[in-house]
């Protein structure tokens, strides 16, 4: 894979270290927790880690951070591998935090021996309470000054299943008065009688994130442990463990996480929406998981180009979804054929066109349409109450049928419920030329004869949320767009039969679509909208 990775503050730090000859062997790692599917925010991290590895001909680990057995599943591990491969990246090694559980246990043992860790018998409630708040300092646990021997013995008993969950934890002995809450004797081992997806029931104690992530970086000799900025406050603790354990000095660097307008990028929130059945699954095209984007019809290139374009920095921002869409359209535009389809058909009667007359009209290369008395156009191309800028069909107005005659709208017929039933127009003889169109500056609409057309089913997606930033105030549960998925039956020209599932097409004057399914029974094509064309709403 060839990526022209944009320069950023991390690549500059690396360049500087290389110049100073500070680096022996460069290694990177991408460490997802297998508790959900990857999303476009992860692509930022993937591009940093895999991208930097590519740039400096270094190796990159894919490390599954499976320290918490409550969350990790094999299914998520497989989905993560698939998504990384689909994006086009290759890992050099796969590792798991659980590979290092024995070493981590020894590290904890070592800390106890140095009188830097202790077993606390307090309840979760009391531990929380005594930790204090950002404004109020913490207070020391009664169990803080147990002897090394007692701690050793208790920790061993924790490991061997002598205690119940939440009855005891192992804590690092640091400083309950530290202004940084993470330094107030953080919990490093907790009891969980839970089957681990890889190790089964081997362990009933599990290391915390803080006591596993940095240690794994160190074991793997990762120089640049790159993570998102919510871990900034953990940095000092990260370094504390490395120093006290006297292990390889990996270093943590933080960058701002990605936000995209009208979208959420949080595994927790996505999981919640799935649970509430607001979206189908992790691969729903309306969310920005990699599988969702793939499902919607995005290309790997468009996603990577977008993420590379926005770069890596420390300030937080909300990026316009438009920009992502721009990179998508840029990538697929040149590779999509134009197909004629009427997404929302309405009958149009040419009142002065003989009912026995049929005119063969050629479109593009070797394609034909048959003009008859009754044809179909899109509902969007007629307006009962046209705005000033609206320049398609309305009563009295003249437009040109694509590759055919100019027509003037005379009247309309409505259904009983008031909806539009038919549009009646007269066609103008000898108006069937480009010169005529240019002379009268006519706008063009597309049309279709029903006899040669195919029926197709179209899924059209819109923003899942109605708010620019659904991340604030749990808005993601309230500001859901009821019309985020609209399915219609449309008519499409015969040409569609030349395409297969997964192919992308452009429907004329509408947008880019991907073929999702072709039913064998009735040959109905199911299309899914990737993106609209850039257009103004009049």
Partner RNA sequence: UGCUCGAUAGUAUAAUGGCAGUACAACAGAUUUUGAUUCUGUUAGUCUAGGUUCGAAUCCUGGUCGGGCAGCCA
Residue positions annotated with a catalytic role: 33, 257, 267
319/477 with CB nearer RNA: 319
Q: What are phi and psi of 530, to 5 degrees?
A: -90, -50
230/498 with CB nearer RNA: 230
Structure token digits, residue 526: 């199911």
Residues in contact with RNA, shown as a per-residue x/- string from 460 to 499 under the rule CB under 7 A: ----------------------------------------
Structure token digits, residue 501: 């599932």
Q: Is 390 exposed, middle or buried (0-12, 13-18, 19+ CB in 10 A)?
A: middle
Applying CB under 7 A, among 22, 102, 150, 320 the residue interacting with RNA is 320
Strands (E), 222-268: 224-228, 251-255
Contacts (CB under 7 A) with RNA, residues 59-88 = 65, 67-68, 70-71
CB of 204 to RNA, least distance (A): 11
C-alpha separations of 356 from 371, 372, 406 in Å: 11, 8, 20
CB of 437 to RNA, least distance (A): 6
109/437 with CB nearer RNA: 437
Q: How far, in Å, CA of 234 to CA of 207, rounded? A: 15
Report the SS3 class of residue 398. strand
188/480 with CB nearer RNA: 188
Report CA dihedral (113, 114, 116, 121) to the nearest 10 degrees: 20
Contacts (CB under 7 A) with RNA, residues 186-205 = 187, 190-191
Contacts (CB under 7 A) with RNA, residues 264-293 = 268
Residues in contact with RNA, shown as a per-residue x/- string from 400 to 439 under the rule CB under 7 A: x-xxx---------------------------xxx--x--
CB of 67 to RNA, least distance (A): 4
The CA-based angle 338-536-260, given to 5 degrees, is 90
Q: How far, in Å, CA of 199 to CA of 369, rounded? A: 64
Report CA dihedral (225, 227, 233, 238) to the nearest 10 degrees: -20
DSSP string, 328-374: HHHHHGGG-EEE-EESSEEEEEETTS-TT--EEEEETTTEEEEE-SE
Contacts (CB under 7 A) with RNA, residues 156-185 = 165-169, 179-182
CB of 442 to RNA, least distance (A): 9
39/485 with CB nearer RNA: 39
Contacts (CB under 7 A) with RNA, residues 102-141 = 122-124, 127-128, 131-135
Instruction: Based on the shown chain and the rule CB under 7 A, indicate whether residue 231 belongs to the binding site for RNA.
Output: yes
Instruction: Based on the shown chain and the rule CB under 7 A, indicate whether residue 502 belongs to the binding site for RNA.
Output: no
Q: Which stretch binds RNA (CB under 7 A): 47-55, 316-324, 344-352, 366-374?
A: 316-324
C-alpha separations of 125 from 129, 132, 153, 529 in Å: 6, 12, 24, 50
CB of 302 to RNA, least distance (A): 13
Q: How far, in Å, CA of 410 to CA of 190, rounded? A: 78
Q: How far, in Å, CA of 293 to CA of 108, rounded? A: 42
Counting residues that bind RNA (by CB under 7 A) gives 86
Contacts (CB under 7 A) with RNA, residues 327-386 = 329-330, 333, 338
Q: How far, in Å, CA of 144 to CA of 126, rounded? A: 14
50/512 with CB nearer RNA: 512
Share of the chain residues as helix, strand and coil, in percent rounded to the nearest 5: 30, 25, 45
348/485 with CB nearer RNA: 348
CB of 7 to RNA, least distance (A): 6
Contacts (CB under 7 A) with RNA, residues 380-399 = 389-392
Instruction: Based on the shown chain and the rule CB under 7 A, indicate whether residue 262 belongs to the binding site for RNA.
Output: no
Residue 452 CB neighbours (<10 A) = 12
CB of 43 to RNA, least distance (A): 15
């Amino acid at each position: 894979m060839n990526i022209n990775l944009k320069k950023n503050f991390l690549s500059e730090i690396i360049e500087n270290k290389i110049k100073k000859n500070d680096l022996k062997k460069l290694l990177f790692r991408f460490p997802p927790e297998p508790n959900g599917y990857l999303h476009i925010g992860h692509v930022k991290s993937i591009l940093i880690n895999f991208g930097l590895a590519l740039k400096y001909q270094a190796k990159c680990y894919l490390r599954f951070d499976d320290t918490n057995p409550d969350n990790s599943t094999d299914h998520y591990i497989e989905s993560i591998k698939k998504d990384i491969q689909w994006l086009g990246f290759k890992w050099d090694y796969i590792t798991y935090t659980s590979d290092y559980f024995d070493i981590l246990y020894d590290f904890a043992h070592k800390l106890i021996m140095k009188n830097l860790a202790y077993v606390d018998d307090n309840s979760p409630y009391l531990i929380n309470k005594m930790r204090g708040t950002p404004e109020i300092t913490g207070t020391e646990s009664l169990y803080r000054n147990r002897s090394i021997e007692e701690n050793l013995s208790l920790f061993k008993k924790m490991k061997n299943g002598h205690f119940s969950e939440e009855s005891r934890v192992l804590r690092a002995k640091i400083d309950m008065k530290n202004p940084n809450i993470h330094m107030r004797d953080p919990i490093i081992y907790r009891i969980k009688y839970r089957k681990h997806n890889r190790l089964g029931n081997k362990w009933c104690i599990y290391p915390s994130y803080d006591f596993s992530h940095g240690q794994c970086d160190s074991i793997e000799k990762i120089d640049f442990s790159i993570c998102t900025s919510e871990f900034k406050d953990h940095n000092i603790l990260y370094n504390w463990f490395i120093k006290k354990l006297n292990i390889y000095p990996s270093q943590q660097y933080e960058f701002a996480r990605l936000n995209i307008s009208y979208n959420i990028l949080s595994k927790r929130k996505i999981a919640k929406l799935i649970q509430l059945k607001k979206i189908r699954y992790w691969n729903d095209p309306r969310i920005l998981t990699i599988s969702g984007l793939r499902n919607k019809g995005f290309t790997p290139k468009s996603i990577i180009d977008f993420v590379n374009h926005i770069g890596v920095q420390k300030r937080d921002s909300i990026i316009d979804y438009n920009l992502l869409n721009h990179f998508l359209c840029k990538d697929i535009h040149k590779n999509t054929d134009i197909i004629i389809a009427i997404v929302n058909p309405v009958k149009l009667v040419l009142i002065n066109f003989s009912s026995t007359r049929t005119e063969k009209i050629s479109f593009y290369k070797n394609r034909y349409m048959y003009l008859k008395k009754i044809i179909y156009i899109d509902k969007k191309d007629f307006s009962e109450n046209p705005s000033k800028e609206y320049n398609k069909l309305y009563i009295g107005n003249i437009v040109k049928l694509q590759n055919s005659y100019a027509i003037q709208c005379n009247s309309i017929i409505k259904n009983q419920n008031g909806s539009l039933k038919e549009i009646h127009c007269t066609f103008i003889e000898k108006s069937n030329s480009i010169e005529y169109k240019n002379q009268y500056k006519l706008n063009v609409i597309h049309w279709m004869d029903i006899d040669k057309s195919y029926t197709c089913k179209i899924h059209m997606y819109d923003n899942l949320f109605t708010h620019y930033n659904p991340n604030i105030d749990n808005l993601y549960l309230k500001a859901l767009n009821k019309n985020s998925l609209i399915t219609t039956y449309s008519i499409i020209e015969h040409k569609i039969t030349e395409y297969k599932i997964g192919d992308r097409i452009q429907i004329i004057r509408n947008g880019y679509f991907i073929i999702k399914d072709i039913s064998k029974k009735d040959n109905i094509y199911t299309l899914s909208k990737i993106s609209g064309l850039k257009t103004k709403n009049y």
